[in-house]
Chain A
Amino acid sequence: MAAHRREGVAGYVFLSPWLLGLLGITAIPMVGSLVLSFTNYDLLSDWSELKWVGIHNYTRMFTDDPHYWHAVKVTLVFALVAVPLKLSASLAVALLLNKERRGTGLFRGLFYLPSLLGGSVALALVWRAMWAKEGAVNGFLALFGIEGQNWINEPDWALHTLVVLAIWQFGAPMVIFLAGLKQIPKELYEAAAVDGAANWRAFWHITLPGLSPVIFFNLVLETVHGFQGFTSAYVISGGTGGPIDSTLMYTLYLYKAGFGDYQMGYASAMAWVFLVAIAVITAVLFSTGKFWVHYGDQS
């Protein structure tokens, strides 16, 4: 009994840094964010000027702020285009690299490297230069006699340069797919080969169901990740989200509202809607998962 209690005490001692962080760095700011979202807090004024504004920040967001809807649209388009393309690319390349052959490790490393570089300011700067009017992409197109435009200044194209940058980083989900492919029992493929099943049938009936938990994991991870894109949008648009809001990712707009215009009450309201939206989307993904994710032997 005494040993049991001692273990309980030890448990909380070991957990204390984490508990302190949960309380001070996460929980209290989360509640604070909710409280602030009902105020007009603006950082510059004195606390005494803090006023309750009820749900004003929320009604303003939904009914009276066209930038907000641009940000929502940009973020949704980005996630809806970038995530499926990135996942398809990573799965396709993982299938090509699945069998251990000479050079496999080298290719895996090469394809993974962009995932480490792509989130940096340095690479976003390079991207900005590559897709500029006089950039390498247009230089390449010129070889075929095509006159390219200034991609990052075109409202119709700017976001897609960010999508390409996201797809370029397919290496991280690819590595997860490769690990998942190793978990699928070889015997299943051998049995299918004995039965004379074609390759695509084996892919459809063995690989995809066997890989579905990993596909699901990557889908949730990349979706949540995709919604949070900030660095590349900030750098490529020079911090504006332009041209005409076309790269105004949700987090960039939140940053501009909170730390550019110091409308911290409004930014807090945006933050909470963001949290709820991500939670809802994750929950929806999980509920669809029941229909297509196969765990263990259930398939």
Chain B
Amino acid sequence: MTNLRAVLRHAFLLLLAVVMLYPVLWMVVSSLRPSNEIFRTPGLVLDGLQVQNYSLGWDALAAPFGHYMVNSAIVVLGAIIGNLVSCSMAAYAFARLEFTGKRIWFAIMLGTIMLPIHVIIVPQYIMFSQVGWVNTFLPLIIPKMLATDAFFVFLMVQFIRALPRELDEAARIDGAGHPRIFLRIILPLMVPALATTTIFTFIWTWNDFFSQLIYLTDPDMYTVPVALRSFVDATVDTSWGSMFAMSVVSLVPIFLAFLIGQRYLIRGIATTGIK
């Protein structure tokens, strides 16, 4: 009886795994099929490899696709550095320092976690366009330098609170100031939280479409999501294979991030979900 249940359970999980993976596999297989065969072919078996889709897709838009990958990489790198520096500083203040107004600031910080960007995007756009930042990467990076991703501040506060206070006390007795305690003691100990922040910032920024669509309208500044969208406008039959090929290319970094950082991803959402 229990054996039968275990078998059923396993069979169900396997079936579900196939269903869940199907869209991804279909995308990869379709990227290797001739464009006229992609449709109506739900199967995942390939007759031959149409690698040509990749070379055609790479050059299908105004600039080689690598150009958009580099643009995305710049934005992602800036966002990661910004989040790591600014969020860890704010988290140290909230978790370890006593100052007037701390409770109120902390409550406001929690409140901004849920704030949808759509509420502030219009005036923010006007502001950034007044200083000439539209079609630069600054509107996508500067907010991260200013810890607007409050989610990560919260994540790091939770992490620092769990570190033993004796460590900072000992350093303080030895005459270390706060910058030193932060850099030499807290930061090295919070590497797991920094890793979680890095990997989530990487994936979210790489996938982010809304703000990149708004701030980047010059084709030369397009990032990967904005460039990929152009495949929608091109409705020519022959572009389907290219579209699938570049979709696959655009997801490779996400997939690698998932393979390398799965541990941190799962721990990250699990711990913030519980507290």
Q: Which A residues have a C-beta under 8 Å from some C-beta of B?
A: 4, 7-12, 14-22, 24-26, 28-30, 32-33, 36, 41, 43, 93, 96-97, 103, 107-114, 116-117, 119-123, 125-130, 132, 134-140, 142-143, 168, 172, 175-176, 178-180, 183, 214, 217-218, 224, 227-228, 230-231, 234-235, 238-239, 251, 254-255, 258-259, 264, 267-268, 271-272, 274-275, 278, 282
Contacts and interface: CB of A to CB of B under 8 A. Distances in A.
A77 B119 CA distance: 21
A44 to B, nearest CB: 11
A97 B13 CA distance: 9
Interface string B42-60: 1000000000000000000
Contacts of A96: 9, 12-13
A18 B93 CA distance: 10
A254 B13 contact: no
B114 A15 contact: no
11 contacts: A8-B100, A16-B89, A22-B148, A25-B124, A33-B122, A96-B9, A129-B30, A136-B41, A139-B42, A214-B273, A274-B118
A28 B126 CA distance: 12
A122 B247 contact: yes
A207 to B, nearest CB: 16
B118 A176 contact: no
Given A10-B178, A255-B210, A274-B116, A235 B232 contact: yes
Contacts of A110: 17, 20-21
Nearest to B39: A134
Contact of A112 (B12, B85, B228, B266): B266
B164 interface: no
B98 A176 contact: no
A7 B178 contact: yes
B269 A175 contact: yes
A126 B27 contact: yes
B107 to A, nearest CB: 12
B238 to A, nearest CB: 14
A235 B210 CA distance: 11
Q: A41, A93, A121 — which one has the most chain B CB atoms within 10 A of its CB?
A: A121
B40 interface: yes
Contacts of B12: 96
A4 B97 CA distance: 10
B98 A17 contact: no
A121 B270 contact: no
Given A29-B124, A132-B39, A231-B209, A126 B114 contact: no
Given A17-B89, A217-B273, A268 B123 contact: yes
A11 B98 contact: yes
Nearest to B259: A109
Given A17-B90, A113-B258, A238-B232, A179 B271 contact: yes
B209 A234 contact: yes
B223 to A, nearest CB: 10
Contacts of B86: 17-18, 21
A122 B228 contact: yes
A218 B209 contact: no
Contacts of B247: 122-123, 125-126
Contacts of A179: 270-271, 273-274
A112 B265 contact: yes
Contact of B120 (A7, A30, A113, A127): A30
A66 B115 CA distance: 27
B155 to A, nearest CB: 14
